[in-house]
Structure 1
Amino acid sequence: MPYAYMLRCRDGSYYVGSTWDLDRRVADHNLGQGLGAAYTSSRRPVVLVWSQHFDRIEDAFAFEKRVQGWGRAKREALIRGDWDAISALARRRSVREREAVDPG
């Protein structure tokens, strides 16, 4: 089954990927030996912190690419399943700052 997934690395950073076989892919990241991504090879061990099943690998890959463009706060909201925070963080910074000053 196709998945998009997020790993927390030893240094606290996050890695986002997509795969057909989630268990094997997480194991590959932790084994090294050229099987995981170059990014995670020096940040092992990694821990799976979020995953989502998709019907098509193309959809999992597209979501991976979307999340790769997100900042840390938005990624952590995804891990928590906090869709309200994701939506708020998706607004332009200037809009969020204006709302903080004048919430009404």
Structure 2
Amino acid sequence: MYVYILTNIGRTVLYIGVTNDLTRRLYEHSTGRGDASKFTGRYQADLLVYFEQLPDAAQAIAREKVMKGWSRAKKDALVAAFNPEWKPIALETWDG
């Protein structure tokens, strides 16, 4: 299971999600980019800047809830510690 953070080009929004298949979920976000009824579509948040793997769904969901409760500054610090340049992460080439 994964908890992940997406942002948009201007880094004006952060989206925190959970999934069991990160590659598939990123594809779903990118194909729904223009869907104004969805948060990631409305704000064009489809750039992966952070992820972590957890052993099971219960832990991943709990972690997602904790992270969603954080201030923007704390979320920014988490991303910066993991991905200092906030470069979009391509899973197939990530060596992090």
Band the TM-score falls in, shorter-chain normalisation = 0.7 to 0.9
The letter of the residue matching 1:9 is N
Aligned to 2:92: none
Aligned to 1:51: 51
For 1:46 and 1:71, locate their aligned partners in 2 and report how far apart those are by CA, in whole Å.
21
Which structure 1 residue ranges, 5 or more long, are not aligned? Answer: 83-104
For 1:45 and 1:56, locate their aligned partners in 2 and report how far apart those are by CA, in whole Å.
25
User: Contact 1:9–1:15 (CA<8 Å) still a contact in 2?
Assistant: no
3-state SS, counterpart of residue 81 of structure 1: helix
Residue correspondence of structure 1 range 24-63 to structure 2 within 5 A: 24-32=24-32, 38-63=38-63
Aligned to 1:7: 6
User: Contact 2:3–2:63 (CA<8 Å) still a contact in 1?
Assistant: yes
User: Contact 1:10–1:43 (CA<8 Å) still a contact in 2?
Assistant: no
The two structures have a TM-score, normalised by structure 1, of 0.67
Name which structure has the greater RCO, CA cutoff 8 Å, separation 6+: 2
3-state SS, counterpart of residue 29 of structure 1: helix
3-state SS, counterpart of residue 49 of structure 2: strand
Residue 9 of structure 1: how far off its partner (Å): 2.4
Residue 46 of structure 1: how far off its partner (Å): 1.5
Q: How many residue pairs were aligned?
A: 79
For 2:70 and 2:53, locate their aligned partners in 1 and report how far apart those are by CA, in whole Å.
19
For 1:16 and 1:45, locate their aligned partners in 2 and report how far apart those are by CA, in whole Å.
10
Over the matched positions of the two proteins, sequence identity in percent amounts to 33
